[in-house]
Structure 1
């Protein structure tokens, strides 16, 4: 048996943790010699500096943590000093420029959460849900200087659940994709990897979703509103402004979960105008361009998350209340 492949792992958020933990668990085949992650960032109401989830795992295992920007002039020496043979990248959050990509003899390999070449970019899971895709997956490819354009080593597919939000889907893909990354790196170590160029053509780009993007458009059909909410949950969070008799300017309301009203469920007594709210003892509805959607879980500004019907009881809603 040969020596374990020495890996420099680059990642930052929780979605990168499953792949890192799988590498750490397989000491027979891999040695994580260092972790490259984003610097500590302010979190929570107190804005306290907090290490990334990847950094927390690395420190717990006594692994060297690198937080300097790889674009800095001295970064190549730092990377070389780790002794890594290849790099594994999962949601690192920075672009690795060509000199860095050439710094490791066996290259850098990225786990990307789409079926490349579709949905290259920062938010592939969110954009797939928003577009109404029913199938997505994970891809492992060798990093090149083009954005997500490198040759693909392996892919796996999953079905997107009818009511699945971006966080739930990303959690599934992180686990499945971690296994895919390990198998790909093992093939690299054994000389069995056969990267295939991505097909040429025009494909959708998964641009980052901003807070403005997450402002819910109730003037669209219910299916589109449902997709937007699911795509923006949990990050950056789908939201609207609630207008009522005591809040002319509107109160920020996050919609954590909703669904188009199914045909067999209780309905509002009449078709609601887009953004209009109706409440019964058991349900809260908001009108769209087509049928209503039912709010299931919400979070008002300064309040905890709660079931929509519980929130509505204390929200002092009136017949004139509406969301925009």
Structure 2
């Protein structure tokens, strides 16, 4: 089939590469415009744009899938639109412009975690199984019929970045299989079953750690917001990012919530249950460092996390 592919961030790149290597033709890639990155704010192509240009595929840069983008897609006469984390909404008439409409690879087991940040919300919620789904795009948010899905058991220490990397690769295979089935006329779709949950884009506030919660909940949030927007707390009123944390060893005595104690390999911070071992931090305005080094240089009397 003749495809149009829409995507922007790195997790969409494996799907683009897999489809480019298939028997299908990608007529064009739609992606968000170049964005300023780094301290020097250098305009940089999206990961999908960079991959498309490497593959020799024409690129349409569009901040919104508006009338102009719709006209460009219509001129290509695609059989199918494929979208993976583009970062915008496909509305009519673009929704029905390809002959078979649009399909979407989404990184959750729908109807769980519809929205922009499914992996992050799944980890924050403590889900131990997640996955990826391919569905028919409809006007309602991530609500279309399912063509296929895969399940993934989340490793205990995996961050959102780890899970996204894995699902991006395995999901690319699932997506390509669905495209093949649509081309062959063998694809079947079923309605989503169950009560939906939603995963809006995370804000900096979502990374704030509440040490009055059980240790498991604190660690779930740490993993779910790593690397973006990042886990953080305050110590003596000063902000500090928590870059790496893990369960404390079993022989560690409990600490009051938020109380900090030095230990080998890091610092212990008390929670509602057992302490959490923090091994790497980044104080405001400074480089990342070992938590033990940061603690030794702290000049605060009786510091408490979250205080």
The interval holding the TM-score normalised by the smaller chain is over 0.9
8 A contact 1:98–1:144 mirrored in 2: no
1:295 and 1:130 map into 2 onto residues whose CA distance is 18
Shift of 1:77: 1.6
Specify every segment of 5 or more residues in structure 2 that has no aligned partner in the other structure, as ranges: none
Shift of 1:259: 1.4
8 A contact 2:115–2:199 mirrored in 1: yes
Alignment match of 1:89 (pick from 74, 83, 86): 83
Residue aligning to 2:124 = 130
- Over the aligned positions, Cα root-mean-square deviation in angstroms equals 1.6
1:271 and 1:317 map into 2 onto residues whose CA distance is 24
Shift of 1:307: 2.8
Matched, 1:322 2:296: no
Q: How many residues align?
A: 306
Residue aligning to 1:256 = 243
* SS across alignment from 1:75: helix
Residue aligning to 1:104 = 98
Residue aligning to 1:11 = 7
Alignment match of 1:205 (pick from 179, 198, 205): 198
8 A contact 1:295–1:308 mirrored in 2: yes
* SS across alignment from 1:120: coil
Residue aligning to 1:238 = 231
Shift of 1:24: 1.6
8 A contact 2:65–2:88 mirrored in 1: no
* SS across alignment from 1:206: coil
Specify every segment of 5 or more residues in structure 1 that has no aligned partner in the other structure, as ranges: 244-249
Shift of 1:321: 1.4
8 A contact 2:104–2:137 mirrored in 1: yes
* SS across alignment from 2:277: strand
Residue aligning to 1:247 = none
1:108 and 1:156 map into 2 onto residues whose CA distance is 20
Shift of 1:319: 5.5
Matched, 1:294 2:287: no
Residue aligning to 2:213 = 220
Alignment match of 1:303 (pick from 281, 286, 299): 286
8 A contact 1:278–1:319 mirrored in 2: no
8 A contact 2:114–2:197 mirrored in 1: yes
8 A contact 2:265–2:279 mirrored in 1: no
Q: What per-residue deviation string (whole Å, max 9, x for no partner) do you get for residues 167-217 of structure 1?
A: 101110000000000000010111111111112x42221222211111111
Matched, 1:22 2:18: yes
Q: What per-residue deviation string (whole Å, max 9, x for no partner) do you get for residues 69-104 of structure 1?
A: 454323222111223211111111001112111111
> Structure 1 80/70 Cα, relative in aligned 2: closer, same or farther at 3 Å?
farther
Matched, 1:189 2:176: no
> Structure 1 189/19 Cα, relative in aligned 2: closer, same or farther at 3 Å?
same
Q: Which moved more, 1:102-111 or 1:67-76?
A: 67-76
Q: How does 1:43-122 map to 2 (within 5 A)?
A: 43-122=37-116
1:138 and 1:278 map into 2 onto residues whose CA distance is 40
